[in-house]
């Protein structure tokens, strides 16, 4: 087989890149390790930057998002049982879209299937070869048979645990990481959201977040110690803890119900440099991870895909390779700013085990400054709605 770009990974990054390249007449083959059902079963965050909204519309996959998504002009922050609102729209002229990222993946798969895109599910042993030359190829095994795809470029969109990042030589690859000393216990419930916009709460017992998927499906999180096991948390224990950490008026309104999904996720900040090695380009979680506090995971992947799509399109359309040559530098510039924002939101809102009373006062002062400063709220808003590409 031969194609122009082999994309390893059928998550949001890989599928969006495939869809955008297709619309520019560039052939791709997506190799996905897991089954379609598994990929579509992953519970993912729900906040889309406005740049992501515009990219999905440009890719021709924004119709259901526009029908079913919720445009949010702001969010609530709370500390010491008191909440205030940060108005993104007033500060930046932009809102965000609340629309499950699992739905984005659904919509991307539907678009690729409708366009006759080639997505090979349950592709095992995917391995790129010849990345430092001008004729790379990728091998994989499907139903026990080994296959080879010759190509021009390989996009590593295979997430944090993928194979692509490891193809960059150890002497070239540099990794930067911070692992946070806590996790997020998340619950999905078929209940009406407690608030019309998200609530991010700092509390002495730990962080809490009230989010949603639609008017009948709510998503809540509480910070828990890393050693906690989800089995140890009953639904009632979760609801009681959430009530303790959010402002009293929200706690009084909270509608509880059985958890239809309950899980604990660790938090880390991670960046791999460079994001390109010869004919290999990393995009999305393959290159970076952010703590979910700033809702940047998918949105960062979309930013990478924007740079990579425009670079590859210029190569094939105009024979122009400046985009390819500067891909890693341009993508990393935005990645690091989003890493900083996600680290800042996480540091401001969570209880750290070794935290001193002085540290707690610093968090409270940071939040109090946000509450009273237009400049501080504008800085938060422009990062939350999405920095320019």
The binding site for ligand PHB (CB under 6 A) comprises 45-47, 198, 211, 219, 292-295
Near ligand APR in 33-62, by CB under 6 A = 33-34, 39, 44-45
Please say if 389 is a catalytic residue.
Answer: no
Spatial distance between the Cα atoms of 21 and 3, rounded to a whole number of angstroms: 12
Choose the contact partner of 72 out of ligand APR, ligand PHB, none; CB within 5 to 8 A by kind.
Answer: none
CB of 310 to ligand APR, least distance (A): 18
Near ligand APR in 206-235, by CB under 6 A = none
Choose the contact partner of 246 out of ligand PHB, ligand APR, none; CB within 5 to 8 A by kind.
Answer: none
Spatial distance between the Cα atoms of 307 and 301, rounded to a whole number of angstroms: 10
Give the gyration radius of the chain's Cα atoms.
Answer: 21
| Exposure on the CB side of residue 136, measured as CA atoms within 13 A | 22
Please say if 384 is a catalytic residue.
Answer: yes
CB of 304 to ligand PHB, least distance (A): 19
| 197/304 with CB nearer ligand APR | 304
Choose the contact partner of 275 out of ligand PHB, ligand APR, none; CB within 5 to 8 A by kind.
Answer: none
Spatial distance between the Cα atoms of 239 and 183, rounded to a whole number of angstroms: 17
CB of 25 to ligand APR, least distance (A): 23
Q: DSSP character for 160?
A: T
Please say if 140 is a catalytic residue.
Answer: no
Instruction: With beta carbons less than 8 A apart as the criterion, state whether 305 and 17 touch.
Output: yes
**Site stretch for ligand APR (CB under 6 A), options 32-40, 55-63, 113-121, 381-389:** 32-40
The reply to whether 14 sits near ligand APR by the rule CB under 6 A is: yes
Catalytic choice (296, 306, 315, 350): 296
Closest C-alpha to 24, from 309, 302, 322, 280: 309
The reply to whether 107 sits near ligand APR by the rule CB under 6 A is: no
Q: Which of 5, 6, 13, 308 binds ligand APR (CB under 6 A)?
A: 13
* Token pair listed for 299: 């949105």
CB of 297 to ligand PHB, least distance (A): 8
What is the enclosing helix (H) or strand (E) of 106?
helix 101-114
* Token pair listed for 25: 């007449």
Q: What's the sign of the alpha-carbon dihedral 197, 198, 199, 202?
A: negative
Please say if 296 is a catalytic residue.
Answer: yes
The reply to whether 8 sits near ligand APR by the rule CB under 6 A is: yes
Spatial distance between the Cα atoms of 187 and 220, rounded to a whole number of angstroms: 5
Near ligand APR in 113-132, by CB under 6 A = 123, 126
Choose the contact partner of 62 out of ligand APR, ligand PHB, none; CB within 5 to 8 A by kind.
Answer: none
Choose the contact partner of 301 out of ligand APR, ligand PHB, none; CB within 5 to 8 A by kind.
Answer: ligand APR
| 287/295 with CB nearer ligand PHB | 295
Spatial distance between the Cα atoms of 152 and 305, rounded to a whole number of angstroms: 17
| 103/152 with CB nearer ligand PHB | 103
Closest C-alpha to 64, from 110, 27, 30: 110
Q: 8-45 burial string, b = 16+ CB within 10 Å, else e?
A: bbbbbbbbbbbbbbbeeebbbbbbbbbeeeebeeebeb
Strand partners, 29: 6, 118
Catalytic choice (200, 220, 221, 307): 200
Strand partners, 79: 82, 202
Binding site for ligand APR (CB under 6 A): 8-14, 31-34, 39, 44-45, 101, 123, 126, 157-159, 161-163, 284-285, 297-298, 301
- Please give the positions annotated as active site: 72, 200, 292, 296, 384
């Amino acid at each position: 087989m031969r194609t122009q770009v082999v994309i390893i990974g059928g998550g949001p990054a890989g599928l969006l890149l495939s869809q955008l390249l297709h619309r520019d007449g560039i052939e791709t083959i997506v190799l996905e390790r897991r089954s379609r059902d598994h990929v579509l079963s992953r519970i993912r965050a729900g906040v889309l930057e406005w740049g992501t909204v515009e990219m999905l519309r440009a890719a021709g996959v924004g119709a259901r998002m526009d029908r079913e998504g919720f445009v949010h002009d702001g969010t609530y922050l709370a500390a010491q049982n008191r909440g205030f609102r940060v108005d993104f729209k007033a500060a930046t002229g932009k809102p965000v879209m609340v629309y499950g990222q699992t739905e984005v993946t659904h919509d991307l798969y539907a678009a690729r299937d409708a366009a006759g895109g080639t997505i090979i599910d349950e592709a095992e042993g995917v391995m790129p070869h010849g990345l430092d030359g001008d004729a790379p190829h990728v091998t994989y095994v499907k139903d026990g048979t080994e296959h080879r795809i010759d190509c021009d470029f390989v996009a590593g969109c295979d997430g944090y645990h993928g194979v692509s990042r490891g193809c960059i030589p150890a002497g070239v690859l540099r990794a930067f990481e911070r692992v946070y000393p806590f996790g997020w216990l998340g619950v999905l419930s078929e209940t009406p959201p407690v608030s019309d916009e998200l609530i991010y709460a700092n509390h002495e017992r730990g962080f809490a977040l009230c989010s949603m998927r639609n008017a009948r499906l709510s998503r809540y999180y509480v910070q828990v110690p890393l050693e906690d096991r989800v089995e140890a948390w009953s639904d009632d224990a979760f609801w009681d803890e959430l009530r303790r950490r959010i402002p009293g008026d929200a706690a009084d309104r909270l509608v509880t119900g059985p958890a239809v999904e309950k899980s604990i996720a660790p938090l880390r900040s991670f960046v791999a440099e460079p994001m390109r090695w010869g004919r290999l380009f990393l995009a999305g979680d393959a290159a970076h991870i952010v703590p979910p506090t700033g809702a940047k995971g998918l949105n960062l992947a979309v930013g990478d895909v924007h740079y990579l799509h425009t670079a590859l399109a210029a190569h094939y359309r105009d024979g122009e390779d400046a985009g390819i040559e500067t891909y890693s530098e341009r993508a990393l510039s935005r990645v690091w700013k989003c890493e900083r924002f996600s680290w800042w939101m996480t540091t401001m809102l969570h209880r750290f085990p070794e935290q001193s009373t002085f540290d707690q006062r610093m968090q409270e002062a940071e939040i109090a400054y946000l509450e009273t400063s237009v400049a501080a709220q504008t800085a938060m808003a422009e990062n939350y709605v999405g920095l320019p590409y």
